[in-house]
């Protein structure tokens, strides 16, 4: 595998100030030790199973399958995890690692607030201090999640720089970490940032594909033909892909947020519209303007609204191992409504991007083919926004 010293092909690396080098070296050494430590893995498995509710179900979506009339569709139900999404997998792993390293304090960035809530949850559980940095615009749009984080005992700091959104929250958290590394771990929320974060986060999320493999072999006696997931930074997607990368017959499909379309400026589809660059400590693909500045991005889904993609995805794209496809707001909203009424499952609007693409390809596939779609989270958080999208205001 083309992964050495935090490189995925030409992508990845550690493009960080000298003042952060010690922190990432300390983290890498600790991770290399604990990832193979039986006691660490025993404790993490206990947290996964007893606290987060793993393994998550692999559910045969029979009504959706029959209605679409093609491939057999399974849903990997990360929405059923404690806190309602896949984010808890990574956060429990990093919080436990930080604790073993003797850190007493977690800091994290958050966009819509899902990663912030998950981090605040892990901090409460493990008795750690927690500060979450959140763009000031996002604190207004996601007031309920701000309240949740405070309820869980965390401080929430509004970030006013830049556009006051996720990318600024990441930059601010990195700055804060530089100033206080002795007792503080930066719990990064996706497979991005400088090495070793993309590797650490991927390893903790890889439990998704480890389980899909076992569950599929048990239910169907063979591997799936297609596994797919939505891609923001790319953590639930790499978790879904990872244990299938060597199985060349398994198609890997990542679904990016096209927003209002990849031919508009209101998009967050990084692979479709971005170029190679260096940002947030890594080399990868980023949405950029004509001067190479990070472009403002847009999607109806706050969780996919990031101008970059994790370096391992950039590499899987370069070598042609995974496909990345754009899905618009319209298509995602339709899939959100479709799954709700067809299977009685309200998916996160992020996950609905993957569902929408499955709805496109499944009807043309043979009935014997098997598709697994990761439902990265539940959609309760999105109901007000989708109602508004449909011209209804549920808080009137």
Ligand X SMILES: *Cc1c(COP(=O)(O)O)cnc(C)c1O
CB 155 within 8 A of CB 119: no
Residue 5, phi-psi category: left (phi > 0), alpha (psi -120 to 50), beta (remainder): left
| Residue 109 is among the residues annotated as catalytic for this protein | yes
231 in contact with ligand X (CB under 6 A): yes
254 in contact with ligand X (CB under 6 A): no
Compute CA 64 distance to the chain's CA centroid, rounded to the nearest angstrom: 25
Structure tokens at 240: 């879904």
255 in contact with ligand X (CB under 6 A): no
| Residue 103 is among the residues annotated as catalytic for this protein | no
Given 28, 109, 172, 350, the catalytic residue: 109
114 in contact with ligand X (CB under 6 A): yes
Residues numbered 115-174 forming contacts with ligand X, rule: CB under 6 A: none
Taking the least distance from each CB to ligand X, the nearer of 181 and 229 is 229
Instruction: For the CB of residue 234, give the shortest distance to ligand X in the complex, in Å.
Output: 5
Taking the least distance from each CB to ligand X, the nearer of 57 and 369 is 57
> Using CB under 6 A, which of 198, 281, 307, 377 touches ligand X?
377
Instruction: For the CB of residue 69, give the shortest distance to ligand X in the complex, in Å.
Output: 28
DSSP per-residue codes, 166-179: HHHHHHHHHHHHHH
235 in contact with ligand X (CB under 6 A): yes
User: 65 forms bridges with which residues in the sheet?
Assistant: none
CB 137 within 8 A of CB 165: yes
| Per-residue DSSP letter, 276 | E
Instruction: For the CB of residue 238, give the shortest distance to ligand X in the complex, in Å.
Output: 8
Determine the residue with CB nearest ligand X: 377
- Find the part of the chain contacting ligand X (CB under 6 A) among 60-68, 226-234, 242-250, 382-390: 226-234
Contact flags string 304-333 toward ligand X, x per CB under 6 A = x-----------------------------
> Using CB under 6 A, which of 83, 273, 288, 376 touches ligand X?
376
> Using CB under 6 A, which of 27, 91, 253, 348 touches ligand X?
348
Backbone angles phi, psi at 300, to 5 degrees: -65, -25
Instruction: Give, for 233, the enclosing helix (H) or strand (E).
Output: none
> Using CB under 6 A, which of 113, 164, 234, 259 touches ligand X?
234
- Find the part of the chain contacting ligand X (CB under 6 A) among 166-174, 177-185, 332-340, 343-351: 343-351
E-state strands within 61-104? 72-77
Instruction: For the CB of residue 29, give the shortest distance to ligand X in the complex, in Å.
Output: 25
Taking the least distance from each CB to ligand X, the nearer of 101 and 245 is 245
Given 87, 103, 167, 283, the catalytic residue: 87
Nearest to 298 by CA among 334, 238, 258: 258
Q: Report the alpha-carbon distance of residue 275 to residue 271 in Å, rounded.
A: 8
Residues 232, 233, 239, 243, Cα dihedral to 10°: 110
E-state strands within the chain? 3-4, 7-8, 11-12, 58-60, 72-77, 105-110, 129-135, 155-159, 184-186, 226-231, 251-259, 275-279, 282-286, 322-328, 370-375
Which residues carry out catalysis? 87, 109, 376
Give the binding site for ligand X (CB under 6 A). 85, 87, 114, 190, 230-237, 303-304, 348, 350-351, 376-377
């Amino acid at each position: 595998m083309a992964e050495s010293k935090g490189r995925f092909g030409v992508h990845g690396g550690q493009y960080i100030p000298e003042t952060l080098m010690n922190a990432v070296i300390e983290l890498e050494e600790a991770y290399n030790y604990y990832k193979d430590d039986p006691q660490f893995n025993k404790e993490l498995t206990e947290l996964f199973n007893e606290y987060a509710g793993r393994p998550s179900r692999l559910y045969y979506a029979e009504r959706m399958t029959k209605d679409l009339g093609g491939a057999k569709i399974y849903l990997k139900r990360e929405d059923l995890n404690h806190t309602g999404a896949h984010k808890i997998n990574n956060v429990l792993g990093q919080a436990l690692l930080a604790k073993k390293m003797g850190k007493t304090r977690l800091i994290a960035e958050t966009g819509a607030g899902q990663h912030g809530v998950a981090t605040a949850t892990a901090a409460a559980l493990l008795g750690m201090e927690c500060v979450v940095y959140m763009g000031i615009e996002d604190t207004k749009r996601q007031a309920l999640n701000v309240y949740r984080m405070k309820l869980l005992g965390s401080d929430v700091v509004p970030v006013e720089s830049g556009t006051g959104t996720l990318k600024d929250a990441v930059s601010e958290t990195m700055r804060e970490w530089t100033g206080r590394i002795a007792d503080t771990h930066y719990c990064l929320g996706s497979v991005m940032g400088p090495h070793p974060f993309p590797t650490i986060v991927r390893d903790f999320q890889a439990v998704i594909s480890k389980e899909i493999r076992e569950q599929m072999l048990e239910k169907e006696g063979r591997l799936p033909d297609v596994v797919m997931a939505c891609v923001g930074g790319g953590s639930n997607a790499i978790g879904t892909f990872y244990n299938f990368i060597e199985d060349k017959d398994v198609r890997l499909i990542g679904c990016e947020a096209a927003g209002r379309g990849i031919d508009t400026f209101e998009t967050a589809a990084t692979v479709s519209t971005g170029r190679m660059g260096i940002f947030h400590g890594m080399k990868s693909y980023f949405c950029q303007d004509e001067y190479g500045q990070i472009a403002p991005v847009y999607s109806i889904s706050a969780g996919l609204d990031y101008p970059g993609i994790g370096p391992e995805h950039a590499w899987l794209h370069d070598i042609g191992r995974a496909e990345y496809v754009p899905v618009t707001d319209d298509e995602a909203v339709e899939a959100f409504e479709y799954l709700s009424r067809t299977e009685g499952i309200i998916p996160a609007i992020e996950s609905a991007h993957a569902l929408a693409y499955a709805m496109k390809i499944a009807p043309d596939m043979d009935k014997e083919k098997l598709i697994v779609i990761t439902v990265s989270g539940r959609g309760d958080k999105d109901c007000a926004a989708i109602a508004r999208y449909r011209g209804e205001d549920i808080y009137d």
